[in-house]
Amino acid sequence: AGVTREDKVLGLLLGTALGDALGASFEGRHAVTARTVDAVERADGTLVHTDDTALTMVLAEHLAARDHAGLDEDVLAGEFAAAWQKEPWRGYGPGAAQVFELIGRGMPWQRAAVSLFGGAGSYGNGGAMRVAPVAAVGTGPHHVAELGRRTASITHAHEDGQHGAEVQALAAYLALERESAPRVLDIDQFRHDLTRVVRCRAWHEKLDRVSELVRTGADPRHAAHSLGNDVTALGSVPMAVMSFVSNPDDPVAAIRYAIGGGGDTDTIGAMAGALAGARNGASTLPEHLVARLEVGDHAREVAGKLATAGHRGG
Ligand code: R7I
Ligand code: MG
Ligand code: MG
């Protein structure tokens, strides 16, 4: 009964696209008022997505096409690079663009990824922003986190860039497999499950803060100030989790909360949208907004395959 698994997987993809495309108009703003988001929602015309959705779709297709064969980083690296090459104007981070260019010239992704930032690798949120589809194929929390880390490592050699992908992947898994509306979301349990997989103090501190902010009913600006809203993984994934757990039953409200905090609004919106879309299903997304997305039909096709690909359960 209730929402089907396929509708939830589609919700994950369309929630990503909707959060990304709505947030894209506000990237870099200090904070965003509800009225300005209203105006974008009420307008017509295409809601153009950015790199976040483009790479999420590449990963979703990769996983859907390979079924039980699982994830192949070498193949996926080439697919990411090809997507960048085809549409370099989608707003890619400078580090990611550089890695994709090097991969396109034949450099192995391992070498390309560590070449960034003086050999430290990137701790940007590019691994986390595109990771959600792994939730549909992982066998359990640890497997999902591992898949998330592996997909991120193609461009993000820095540990923090990978931790962000682990946390977002696991959050998406919990939203898809454990948490279905109308069951009430247990925020403390959700946070507890996330912290069990990522054994890192900085992440635990941020996620603990999420519980506290939910308890006090913090508004988006306050939450963004406390958790961060920038292009780093540690400075954006916690705000996305916050946006979801404080609006668990309404994807558009979760996305609006994410955008309301300002900063990296397309990415925080995309990640919050993935979580809320996965929990509530695509059927809960407003039709007039979904109709304006670029990925609608393609997402439906991929979601159908992804919902039955790989292993199930947890
Ligand atoms: O992580 P990445 O793909 O960027 C994703 C963001 C999202 O907001 C997308 O919507 C798109 O707009 O870009 O790309 P990177 O360039 O690897 O990382 C993003 C930024 O994080 C970098 O450009 C740096 O500003 C910062 N950064 C670092 N700065 C110093 N030292 C990431 N890693 C480092 C570092 O090691
Ligand atoms: Mg983007
Ligand atoms: Mg962004």
Tell whether 110 is covered by a domain.
Answer: yes
Q: Whose CA is nearest to atom 21 of ligand 1?
A: 124
| Domain count for the chain | 1
In angstroms, rounded to a whole number, what is the distance separating the alpha carbons of residues 160 and 172?
18
Q: In the prediction, which pLDDT does 313 show? A: 39
Q: Which ligand is closest to the CA of 90, given by its number?
A: 2
Mean pLDDT in residue range 136-145: 94
pLDDT at position 257 over 60: yes
Residues contacting ligand 1 via CB (< 6 Å): 50-52, 91-96, 117, 120, 122-126, 129, 158, 231-232, 264, 266-267
Tell whether 313 is covered by a domain.
Answer: no
Tell whether 158 is covered by a domain.
Answer: yes
211 closest CA partner among 229, 196, 226 = 226
Structural domain that includes position 289: 5-306
The pair of three-digit structure tokens given for residue 147, joined into one six-digit string: 């898949």
Q: Where are the alpha helices (DSSP H) in the chain?
A: 5-24, 34-42, 51-66, 73-86, 94-104, 109-114, 126-129, 141-153, 159-173, 187-197, 201-215, 220-227, 237-245, 251-260, 265-280, 287-290, 296-306
Q: Which of 231, 234, 259 to mutate to test ligand 1, by most ligand atoms within 8 A of the CB atom?
A: 231
In angstroms, rounded to a whole number, what is the distance separating the alpha carbons of residues 130 and 165?
8
In angstroms, rounded to a whole number, what is the distance separating the alpha carbons of residues 111 and 6?
37
- The CATH number assigned to the domain holding 204 equals 1.10.4080.10
pLDDT at position 311 over 70: no
What values do phi and psi take at 232, rounded to 5?
Answer: -85, 160
Q: Which residues contact 102 (CB under 8 A, 6 or more apart)?
A: 111, 112, 115
Q: For 13, what's the count of Cα atoms within 13 Å in the CB-facing half-sphere?
A: 32
Tell whether 312 is covered by a domain.
Answer: no
Ligand 1 atom closest to the CA of 120, numbered from 1: 36
Q: CA quadruple 222, 227, 228, 233: dihedral positive or negative?
A: negative
Q: What is the pLDDT of residues 180-211, one digit of tens each?
A: 666 778 888 899 999 988 889 999 999 999 99
Q: Whose CA is nearest to atom 2 of ligand 1?
A: 126
Q: In the prediction, which pLDDT does 310 show? A: 62
Q: What is the pLDDT of residues 20-77, one digit of tens each?
A: 999 999 998 988 998 999 999 999 999 999 999 999 999 999 999 987 678 999 999 9
pLDDT at position 314 over 50: no
Mean pLDDT in residue range 9-15: 98
Q: Which of 51, 80, 122, 155 to mutate to test ligand 1, by most ligand atoms within 8 A of the CB atom?
A: 122
pLDDT at position 312 over 70: no
Mean pLDDT of the chain: 94
**Coil, strand or helix at 199:** coil
Tell whether 314 is covered by a domain.
Answer: no
Specify burial of residue 174 (Cβ count, 10 A radius: 0-12, 13-18, 19+). Answer: buried
Q: Provide the b/e sequence for 12-40 (b: ≥16 CB within 10 Å).
A: bbbbbbbbbbbbbbbbebebbeeeebeeb
For tokens 């981070």, what's the residue?
93
Mean pLDDT in residue range 129-145: 96
